[in-house]
Amino acid sequence: MSIEKRLNAILPTVRTPGRYTGGELNQVTKNWDEVQTKVALVFPEIYDLAMSNLGIMVLYDLLNKRRDALAERVFLPWVDMEEAMRQAEIPLYSLESKHALAEFDLVGVSLPYESLYTNLLNVLDLGNIPLFSAERDLDHPIVIAGGQATYNPEPVAPFLDAFAIGEGEEVIHEIVDCVKEFKGAQTATSTRQELLEKMAQIPGLYVPALYKAHYQGDGTFSHLEALVDSAPRTITKRVVGELPPPPTRFIVPYVDVVHNRAPVEIMRGCTRGCRFCHAGMVNRPVRERSPEEILSAIENIIPHTGYSEIGLLSLSSSDYTKIVALVEAINARFEGENISASLPSLRIDSVSVDLMDALAGQRRSGFTLAPEAATERMRKIINKPTSDAQLLETAREIYARGWHTIKLYFMIGHPSETLEDVRAIAQLSKAVRDEGAKIIGGRAQVHAGVSTFIPKPHTPFQWTACDTMKEIQAKIDILKKELRGRGLKLNWNDPRESIYEAWLSRGDRRMAQVIYQAWKRGAKFDAWREHFDYETWMKAFQEVGLDPDFYTHRQRPEEEAFPWDHINAGVRKKILFQDYVWSQAGKTRPDCREQCYACGILPTFNDLRRQVSSEAWFCPVVE
């Protein structure tokens, strides 16, 4: 019996069956038998979250424009659907054609964050694909991962055949071409090892089976040994010189999803150099789309999707050089059509009065700012040097233009943070609310979101230790006590979730066995508070014989080799360490649009830089 017929029997028994049917507006379904290379694009989360992932939609659009390939979506079922599928012996399948995951040639998994690692294993298990790369043969799909979490691929290296490091718009075509060529020439004596070695020659592709990890006597990472001569010693991330046209025919879900809007990436990369920010370091250089291209994309999106909200996405949207002109153009073009543009959290020092005026006509759910720390001393340490006066002035302008709620994002646990720095979060939040009360009275609200700092790979803080559970909880307790009162709301992360993220993001290849053991004990949906089980992970560490504190609470010396050192994200390790030393002195580094400090991007990608227009790439031209 086909998957589709078996589905008809179980869908009425599960919650939100619209997650599992496909058939939405703008999905692409090709003739399976007429296409040579089949690609499953996997986001290892439920439909509600997966459908809001822009990266999946970009690759879906690009691959389905090829005549010789198809791309279909595969998402993880929620627990009720998983149970029903296992009982009915239904393998994980694609939404478009209902083919089993194991029938595809390529399985491309998006890993934007570490809490998806056990979900990755669940995807493979539900798809009847061996969990470990070493157990697969040519009858199994090639399983590749990309995304922000793969800049340290080692914790999940044994489960993946390859990692696409960096931006995927170009390398995805090279991967498809490589697999297509190999399978077209495949003989009875061909081996999976031969295919993996061919794939390793694609720039930006890391094939972990071709390397062996070595460790020092004290347990620290030593080096990665290439097992074949052809394996590159360094994997340099892929960069798209000029952003391609954005997708415009987004699939329109049948059910509510997390972001019920059409996303348009207006800018990629960041020049600010916040020392805690992994995304800001690894996504350099900055490239912008023109306002004309963005406006044209929006004009195509609306009639083909029916969306009334457009998300203007980037790491720092207010740093987009023509943001005011862009928002004003959107307002003018769609005046009277109930179309609005939303921006993610904004930098205090780049939110101008003109931008607030341009946004004033939009729907006012809340205005989000990200000071990250509440004292000027701490903001210098993390290289986000804005003043309290600047924040309060920005707050006044926001409240004066009709917003009732300001959302402030903070972190606790930054290096050199004191309890007084933590108390300042409550004090600053109250000060912002009080400025609003002067303007709009008791309607003024401040929502403070507090997360815990995690020292991430490829950042200046990768040498620092993470706060202990006890220290994190003490800081949260201070905020719960002091951040109270009318118009104030506090949200915070569970300290155990922060520690969990820390050991996964800084892990080495040995961590794979911990992930495997945790999954065997039932770990999945770790990003969901009701499913995360800290004790399950502690038992997994005990089973494997590793100490979680080794990965989280240990300060790294300058000379220590990191498990991710073979991944070249563009910014030199020497510059990162210099920035770390500067942080200890409270010395800031200027925005690199104002002053280039030779971070490493230009020497690495200067040939690519010469191939694109000067307006697209905000780095100086070096002859």
The reply to whether 401 falls in a domain is yes
Average pLDDT rounded to a whole number, residues 362-370: 75
Where among 200, 215, 247 does a domain terminate?
A: 200
Q: Give the structural domain span for 475.
A: 262-605
CA distances from 420 to 365, 375, 378, 495 (A): 32, 9, 11, 19
Number of structural domains the chain divides into: 2
Domain shared by 492 and 365, yes or no: yes
CA distance 358 to 98: 46
Confidence tier at 562 by pLDDT (50, 70, 90): very high
The alpha-carbon radius of gyration of the chain (Å, integer) is 24
Q: Which amino acid is present at 383?
A: N
With left for phi above 0 and alpha for psi between -120 and 50, is residue 204 left, alpha or beta? left
**What sign has the CA pseudo-torsion 369, 375, 381, 384?**
positive
Q: Where are the alpha helices (DSSP H) in 89-166?
A: 117-126
The reply to whether 207 falls in a domain is no
- Residue 323 has, within 13 A of its CA and on its CB side, a CA count of 28
In the structure encoding, which two tokens stand for residue 472, read together? Answer: 């994190």
Model confidence at 1: pLDDT above 80: no
Confidence tier at 352 by pLDDT (50, 70, 90): confident
By the 8 A CB rule, do 592 and 575 touch?
no
Determine whether 577 is exposed, middle or buried from the number of CB atoms within 10 Å of its CB (0-12, 13-18, 19+).
middle
CA distance 140 to 129: 7
Between 613 and 98, the more confident residue is 98
By the 8 A CB rule, do 398 and 408 touch?
no
By the 8 A CB rule, do 57 and 264 touch?
no
Domain shared by 171 and 289, yes or no: no
CA distance 15 to 79: 10
pLDDT at residue 513 in the model: 98
Confidence tier at 45 by pLDDT (50, 70, 90): very high
pLDDT at residue 364 in the model: 58
Domain shared by 192 and 266, yes or no: no
The reply to whether 226 falls in a domain is no
Q: In this predicted model, what pLDDT tens digit does every residue of 223-278 receive, in sequence order?
A: 999 999 999 999 999 999 999 999 999 999 999 999 889 999 999 999 899 999 99
Which of 169-178, 217-226, 363-372, 559-568 has the least mean pLDDT?
363-372
pLDDT at residue 355 in the model: 84
Average pLDDT rounded to a whole number, residues 169-196: 96
The reply to whether 110 falls in a domain is yes
Model confidence at 347: pLDDT above 80: no
How many of the other CB atoms lie within 10 Å of CB of 273?
A: 24
Confidence tier at 176 by pLDDT (50, 70, 90): very high
Domain shared by 432 and 523, yes or no: yes
Model confidence at 360: pLDDT above 80: no
pTM of the model: 0.96
Q: What are the beta bridge partners of residue 466?
A: none
pLDDT at residue 460 in the model: 98
Q: Could you tell me what percent of the chain has a pLDDT over 70?
A: 98
The reply to whether 370 falls in a domain is yes
The reply to whether 231 falls in a domain is no
Domain shared by 291 and 388, yes or no: yes
Domain shared by 165 and 313, yes or no: no
Which of 210-214, 346-350, 396-400 has the least mean pLDDT?
346-350
Domain shared by 170 and 281, yes or no: no
In the structure encoding, which two tokens stand for residue 499, read together? Answer: 């520690």
CA distance 86 to 84: 6
Average pLDDT rounded to a whole number, residues 577-599: 93
3-state secondary structure of 263: strand
CA distance 546 to 127: 30
CA distances from 363 to 147, 308, 309, 403, 472 (A): 32, 11, 10, 9, 36
Domain shared by 118 and 267, yes or no: no
Average pLDDT rounded to a whole number, residues 573-581: 97
CA distances from 389 to 319, 349, 394, 428, 523 (A): 20, 11, 9, 11, 46
Domain shared by 373 and 511, yes or no: yes
Residues 6 or more apart whose CB falls under 8 angstroms from that of 294 comprise 246, 264, 266, 312, 326
Average pLDDT rounded to a whole number, residues 388-393: 95
pLDDT at residue 473 in the model: 96
User: Phi first, then psi: what are they for 357, rounded to 5°?
Assistant: -65, -40
Between 464 and 317, the more confident residue is 464
pLDDT at residue 354 in the model: 81
Determine whether 368 is exposed, middle or buried from the number of CB atoms within 10 Å of its CB (0-12, 13-18, 19+).
middle
CA distance 455 to 460: 9
- Burial letters 3-24, b for 16+ CB under 10 A, else e: beebbeebbeebebeebbbbeb
The reply to whether 616 falls in a domain is no
CA distance 189 to 167: 34
Domain shared by 272 and 377, yes or no: yes
By the 8 A CB rule, do 571 and 600 touch?
yes
CA distances from 315 to 4, 270, 420 (A): 40, 6, 29
In the structure encoding, which two tokens stand for residue 478, read together? Answer: 């201070």
pLDDT at residue 343 in the model: 85
By the 8 A CB rule, do 70 and 136 touch?
no
pLDDT at residue 607 in the model: 87
Domain shared by 185 and 71, yes or no: yes
Model confidence at 49: pLDDT above 60: yes
By the 8 A CB rule, do 272 and 383 touch?
yes
By the 8 A CB rule, do 417 and 378 touch?
yes
Instruction: Identify the CATH number of the domain in which residue 355 sits.
Output: 3.80.30.20
CA distance 516 to 140: 20
pLDDT at residue 365 in the model: 64
Instruction: Identify the CATH number of the domain in which residue 9 sits.
Output: 3.40.50.280
Q: Could you tell me what percent of the chain has a pLDDT over 90?
A: 88
Model confidence at 306: pLDDT above 70: yes
- Residue 281 has, within 13 A of its CA and on its CB side, a CA count of 24
Confidence tier at 622 by pLDDT (50, 70, 90): low
Q: In this predicted model, what pLDDT tens digit does every residue of 420-450 receive, in sequence order?
A: 999 999 999 999 999 999 999 999 999 999 9
- How wide is the angle at C-alpha 538 spanned by C-alphas 532 and 544, nearest 5°? 125
Where among 200, 231, 248 does a domain terminate?
A: 200
CA nearest 81: which of 71, 70, 95, 69?
A: 95
Q: Which helix (H) or strand (E) holds 432?
A: helix 419-440
Classify strands 267-268 and 287-288 as parallel, antiparallel or unpaired. antiparallel
The reply to whether 363 falls in a domain is yes
DSSP annotation of 288 reads: E
CA distance 106 to 74: 12
Q: Which amino acid is present at 452?
A: T
Q: In this predicted model, what pLDDT tens digit does every residue of 287-300 receive, in sequence order?
A: 999 999 999 999 99
**What sign has the CA pseudo-torsion 526, 527, 532, 537?**
positive
Q: Which amino acid is present at 16?
A: T
Confidence tier at 459 by pLDDT (50, 70, 90): very high
CA distance 64 to 200: 25
In the structure encoding, which two tokens stand for residue 551, read together? Answer: 């990965």
pLDDT at residue 15 in the model: 95
SS3 content of the chain, % helix, strand, coil (to 5): 40, 15, 45
Domain shared by 280 and 193, yes or no: no
Model confidence at 472: pLDDT above 80: yes
pLDDT at residue 361 in the model: 62
3-state secondary structure of 579: helix
Q: In which order are the strands placed within the sheet that holds 309-313?
A: 262-265, 309-313, 340-342
Between 361 and 523, the more confident residue is 523
pLDDT at residue 138 in the model: 96
CA distance 476 to 181: 56
Model confidence at 623: pLDDT above 60: no
pLDDT at residue 614 in the model: 78
Confidence tier at 363 by pLDDT (50, 70, 90): low
Average pLDDT rounded to a whole number, residues 508-529: 97
Q: In this predicted model, what pLDDT tens digit does every residue of 107-150 receive, in sequence order?
A: 999 999 999 999 999 999 999 999 999 999 999 999 999 999 99
pLDDT at residue 25 in the model: 97
Model confidence at 615: pLDDT above 60: yes
pLDDT at residue 173 in the model: 98
**Strands in 366-444 per DSSP E:** 367-372, 405-412
**Residue with token string 């209902």:** 98
As a residue count, the chain comes to: 623
